[in-house]
Amino acid sequence: MTPVQRGGGARRPWWPWDGEPRWLPRRFRQWHPGPGSRRWTGPGRGRGARGGKAEDKEWMPVTKLGRLVKDMKIKSLEEIYLFSLPIMPVQKQTRAGQRTRFKAFVAIGDYNGHVGLGVKCSKEVATAIRGAIILAKLSIVPVRRGYWGNKIGKPHTVPCKVTGRCGSVLLRLIPAPRGTGIVSAPVPKKLLMMAGIDDCYTSARGCTATLGNFAKATFDAISKTYSYLTPDLWKETVFTKSPYQEFTDHLVKTHTRVSVQRTQAPPVATT
């Protein structure tokens, strides 16, 4: 095979030997038989949809909460936590043994008052990470933020001193003035940043080298920010209907089970 220039003159191939470049792996070669010879056209484009853009599938909710969210009846996360609606019941099974397993810790947050932590153990790393992501999304909690001194600007720190504990690790979050930053170890710093807290002092005690307990203690402390009621929350309680009660007719009307009645076959005359 001899390459031909556009002007019509022959030139030598760029590889130092005559013939085809068989030193490349087979998956990077694509040969097209021509009239009397074969020509190398470079790497192929692969099969079908591999490597292409995945098609967007329509979300099909399986719970009442999911159906209300899809129908735009619930428009914020605060409505879920206000009535303590269960996101999805989760069952966990463990297996005893001496097999090597991998434990993944995943933290998610929107940097604006919501954070979640998921822990999953599995025999494979990918399975552990995938399960931890799902559990982190199901364990999202709202984070209350406050001020260190005067109420100027947006809330930037924790509203009061809160303490979280897991195992021997005890973590205490202390409000800090604006501009201080997050004074803590790398593990709680990531969780506090994802929760939307800009300034905070921390005090840790125990075996903080255990990453799992350290992260769980931080998440426990963050989730307790709404447990202390300050005087600004001493308001008259107004009872409102839960979304399940308010949109009962909508759930029944749009999602009813269809029962199929069996008809008896007519008798067949036999002789």
Q: Are strands 114-122 and 141-142 parallel, antiparallel or unpaired?
A: antiparallel
Of 33-47, 61-75, 76-90, where does mean pLDDT reach its minimum?
33-47
Q: What per-residue confidence (pLDDT) applies to 198?
A: 93
pLDDT of amino acid 90: 41
- Asked whether the beta carbons of 121 and 103 are under 8 A apart, the reply is yes
Would you place residue 74 in the very low, low, confident or very high pLDDT band (cuts 50, 70, 90)?
Answer: confident
What digits encode the pLDDT tens for the residues 128-166? 888 888 899 888 999 999 999 888 899 999 999 999 999
pTM of the shown model:
0.60
Task: Flag whether pLDDT at 58 surpasses 60.
Answer: yes
Q: Compute and round to an integer the Cα radius of gyration of the chain.
A: 31
Mention every residue, 6+ apart, whose C-beta is less than 8 A from residue 256.
Answer: none
H/E stretch holding 174 reads: strand 169-175
Q: Rounded to the nearest 5 degrees, what angle is found at the Cα of 84, between the Cα atoms of 82 and 86? A: 140
User: Highest mean pLDDT: which of 35-44, 146-155, 260-269?
Assistant: 146-155
What does the alpha-carbon distance between residue 44 and residue 89 come to, in Å, rounded to a whole number? 47
Cα distance from N-terminal residue to C-terminal residue, the chain: 83
Q: What is the mean pLDDT of residues 35-39?
A: 50
pLDDT at 271 over 50: no
pLDDT-above-90 percentage for the chain: 28
Mean per-residue pLDDT over the chain, rounded = 76
Architecture of domain 64-142: 2-Layer Sandwich (3.30)
Backbone angles phi, psi at 266, to 5 degrees: -65, 145
Smallest CA-to-CA distance from 223 within 164, 160, 155, 138 is with 164
Backbone angles phi, psi at 175, to 5 degrees: -60, 150
| CA distance linking residue 141 with residue 183, whole number of Å | 22
Helix segments in 84-208, DSSP class H: 125-138, 186-195
pLDDT beyond 80 at 27:
no
Q: Are 163 and 172 in contact (CB under 8 A)?
A: yes
3-state secondary structure of 202: strand
Domain-wise residue ranges, the chain = 64-142, 162-229
Query: By the 8 A CB rule, do 85 and 65 touch?
Result: yes
Structure tokens at 178: 């604006």
Element housing 39 (H / E): strand 38-40
pLDDT in tens, 202-224: 999 999 998 889 999 999 999 99
CATH hierarchy code of domain 162-229:
3.30.230.10
